[in-house]
Amino acid sequence: MEDSKLLIASQKAEKWLQSGLDTETCNQIKDLLNNPQELIEAFANDLEFGTGGLRGIMGVGTNRMNVYTVQMATQGFCNYIIKTFPKQKDLKSSIYRIAIAYDSRNNSKIFAEVTANVFSANGFKVFIFESLRPTPELSFAVRNLICNGGVMLTASHNPKEYNGYKAYWTDGGQLVPPHDKNVILEVNAIKSFSDVKNQKVADSITILGKDFDNIYINEVIKTLLSPASIKNHHNLKIVYTPIHGTGVELVPMTLKKIGFTNVHIVKEQSVPDGNFPTVISPNPEEKAALNLALELAKKIDADLVMATDPDGDRVGVAVKNLEGEHILLNGNQTATILTYYMLSKWKENKKLKGNEYIVKTIVTTELIAAIANDFNVEYFDVLTGFKYIAEVILENEEKKKYICGGEESYGFLVGDYVRDKDAVSACAMLAECAAWAKEHRKTLYNLLIEIYCKYGFYKESLLSITKKGSDGKEEIKKMMKNFRQNPPTSIASSKIVCMKDYQLQISHDFTNGSKTTIEQPKSDVLQFITTDGSIISIRPSGTEPKIKFYFGVKEKLTSPNDFNATGLKLDLKIENIINSLNVK
């Protein structure tokens, strides 16, 4: 197995050496030829589009992010767009159009520029931002400028060694089947770098600047629901950190424009830097990434703490608990608060007409579904990946009214003018919600406990197991195969009543032996539901060498006074589930 991988890697490396690449790249390839294991890692496989597009470690090779893999991906994307819209029948413009943005990561600007060059060389009108911008603004630009697609150069919240290439379709959403696989087919059809057109056509490239920022921010402002609450509590103490990323300009600008006057930015993290010097990982899901923000929050006694990841699509949140200490909310809790707040205000403002809906992913808390049912608002469950939320919005355009959607991994989208998770609008809505809560003499933490008392205390947890290296994917495949072919009959002494296999698209009801079809695209995901209502979901990550285990449990909460004790009970239940699976 290893010998065959080495042979494949060597052949591909030699082909690259014969393709007229720059001297530095050629020297790096020659060094790799003397290091078999690194050669295999760099060349044995090709980067593929997953739930987040093209993403990988930066470096030389077909399995690495570099100017050559970016150019080849771009040429394949160009070819697919041209084949799909041969006469531009579905768009108002007669010229192919593309929008491009990039974040603060090392090489993102270079990758964006070579992407723009390839598109312009292929006859596209290119719109590229003058400097780093958040992902949601790129999605907005695709729609606002009536583009055939878009490209965002980012690896989102991954460590500094990574970069990525998010491809967007005409609706402003990331590529979904069959487009994602078809783009890869076009990329694979390119046999050499000579097939890539990369001669820049300067006249075809338009620079987007602050004027476009204002257009986007104005759309964010239109979604707000409680302007009076903001006016009455404009001095709400807010701490914000962009974690060296793209939110540094737009989030504070938006908060100021909607009326908040007491926003404190974490100075040490306010400079865009692809090395992310103040954190181990620029991921707002990890507490360490918010340490500096929490220190500042404690110092000024902040009401709300918000942190966005490098490309500004995910938001981490901290609020004061009952003891006045700042604690982190997880993505499920943030999405729950925002969903409940928005549905409450839509109902209060008499905006619910009967055709509204919300969306969540299958691994996101079922509490959101309970809230939607209570408000008689339809909800959709979709596969993991915000592109599937965008797909539902596209399918229901002009038929139903989208309100909001979220996922457990800290992504949320308010309104449909953007078709990807949007931390800029989420920050604005969270700040407004905090002001609204203060108007009612409560905090966001109080609000969350009230929601638990009304609908049940739902608690979720995530266990990610990393399998690095060329053998990592194989190990993950074996784990999924074992769970699929030898499913447990019970988990933590609770009998399994249902197993959902999204790859086979079959739901097994073990109480009566029936099988029903799952109306979702095929995906390598398994879900087990137990008699006590616990939900265990298992899936390989689409963007990282990980297999992820999602746990959802619930209990009744009769009083806020029982919150801590019930929380500990749920923690123990999750711990027992993990021990029962024996996957640590």
Catalytic (active-site) positions: 156
Question: What is the secondary structure of 392-435 as a DSSP string?
Answer: HHHHTTTTSEEEEEEETTTEEEESSSSSS--HHHHHHHHHHHHH
Q: How far apart are CA 264 and CA 165, in angstroms?
A: 32
Amino acid at 26: C
444, containing H or E segment: helix 444-455
Q: Do 467 and 473 meet the contact criterion of CB atoms below 8 Å apart? A: yes
Q: Count Cα atoms within 13 angstroms, Cβ side, for 47.
A: 30
Nearest to 390 by CA among 166, 145, 577, 156: 166
Q: Count Cα atoms within 13 angstroms, Cβ side, for 85.
A: 20
Amino acid at 55: R
| CB neighbours of residue 50 within 10 Å | 16
Q: How far apart are CA 282 and CA 499, in angstroms?
A: 35
Q: Do 228 and 203 meet the contact criterion of CB atoms below 8 Å apart? A: no
Question: What is the secondary structure of 464-520 as a DSSP string?
Answer: EEE--STTHHHHHHHHHHHHHHS--SEETTEEEEEEEETTTTEEEETTTTEEEE--S
Q: How far apart are CA 63 and CA 61, in angstroms?
A: 5
Nearest to 538 by CA among 527, 530, 529: 527
Give the list of residues 6+ apart from residue 218 with CB closer than 8 angstroms, or none. none
Q: How far apart are CA 510 and CA 496, in angstroms?
A: 7
CA 499, 502, 504, 506 torsion-angle sign = positive
Token reading at 12 = 């591909």
Q: How far apart are CA 498 and CA 514, in angstroms?
A: 10
**Distant-in-sequence contacts of 326-331, Cβ < 8 A, 24+ apart:** 326/294, 326/297, 326/298, 326/302, 327/445, 328/287, 328/290, 329/444, 329/448, 330/285, 330/408, 330/410, 330/460, 331/285, 331/364, 331/406, 331/407, 331/408, 331/409, 331/410, 331/411
Q: Do 75 and 197 meet the contact criterion of CB atoms below 8 Å apart? A: yes
Q: Could you give the residue ranges of the DSSP H alpha helices within 134-246?
A: 135-144, 179-188, 210-222, 227-232
Nearest to 63 by CA among 478, 477, 473, 525: 473
Nearest to 333 by CA among 247, 271, 409: 409
Q: How far apart are CA 307 and CA 314, in angstroms?
A: 8
Token reading at 209 = 């600047």
* Distance set, CA 278 to CA 238, 246, 396 (Å): 20, 16, 43
Q: In the beta sheet, which residues pair with residue 265?
A: 240
